A = this chain, B = another copy of it.
Amino acid sequence: MNELEFLSGLRQLPLHEGARNLEDDCAVLNFGGEALILTHDMMAEDTHFLPEADMADVAWKLVAMNLSDLAAKGAEPIGMLLGASLGKDDAGFINGLRDALTVYDCPLLGGDTISATGASTFGITAIGRATHLPVPSRKGAKVDDAIYVTGTIGRAMLGFEGQKQHLDAINRPKPLLTEGKALAPVVNAMMDVSDGLLLDGWRMAQASGVTFRLNPELIPVADPARMDECLRWGDDYELIFTASPKLELPIEATRIGTVEEQANAPIYLGGTALIEPGFLGYQHG
């Protein structure tokens, strides 16, 4: 099965209502009168990092990608559980983990270790606490909302290619926890841009039952000569969100378009209709 087929299979299982039908980046669980936010993301050698990768960076990134999901919910981290294959540069991995847990104040809660015979895999379950109810989701985008993105899209791609000033974006991405928390009370929809701006925007428009009209000239990309690639590369961990166009934003972000009533395609990039998600970004396994 590919990921979509597997996900369809999982959707036939008994699902918790907090699973949001497996259509969001996090589960949202009411517990003891508060909202608990849960997410689980994995990284595998060969698929998500090269065998010769710096394991401290791998650990950092694994924490960051999980915390980025919490950020998109406006959650603050409580702690995390780790699942780890032993046998790579374990000391380096622990060092990167220490860096990330310390910077983002997300202590270790527990986990498991295994000996794997082949490629190593690592997983983190991050636990957070919602700071605002209702918890933002992908599907709240409203017609006439302005569409915004934080930062600059495509930096991770350029870092992956070795450009020095962008290495931090691919090796040590920063989950936008502070920004997510500031935005949660004022956005109508929010998610992180982990798989590419177009693909994640497509998903958000689709989930919200609307169309996103994006103006390519407004989208802040790291290399305008390669805009198409920038918009399709993942790993940027910026936030995309929609809100009333009258809103005074609590953080810096760039308006890149407007939400319209559902048309033939979930996204129009300038005059181009983007109907199918294929080729828009990184589709998982």
Q: Which A residues are closer than 8 A to B by beta carbons?
A: 1-3, 5-7, 9-10, 12-16, 18-20, 22, 24, 26-27, 29, 31-34, 36, 38-48, 78-79, 81-86, 90-91, 94, 97-98, 101-102, 105-119, 121, 123, 125, 127, 129, 284-285
Residues of B within 8 A of A20 (CB): 110
Task: Give Cα A242–Cα B46 distance, bound, in whole angstroms.
Answer: 47
Task: Say yes or no: A111 contacts B40, CB within 8 Å.
Answer: yes
Can you name the residue of chain B whose Cβ is closest to the Cβ of A115?
A: B285
**Copies of this chain held together in the complex:** 2
Evaluate contact between B112 and A41: CB separation under 8 angstroms.
yes
Contact across chains for B94 and A10 when beta carbons are under 8 A apart: yes
- Can you report 28 A-B residue pairs in the complex whose CB atoms are below 8 A from each other? A1-B90, A2-B86, A3-B86, A3-B113, A9-B91, A10-B97, A13-B97, A14-B101, A14-B108, A16-B108, A19-B108, A22-B108, A27-B109, A29-B78, A38-B110, A40-B82, A40-B83, A40-B123, A41-B112, A42-B114, A44-B85, A47-B116, A48-B114, A85-B285, A112-B123, A115-B284, A115-B285, A121-B121
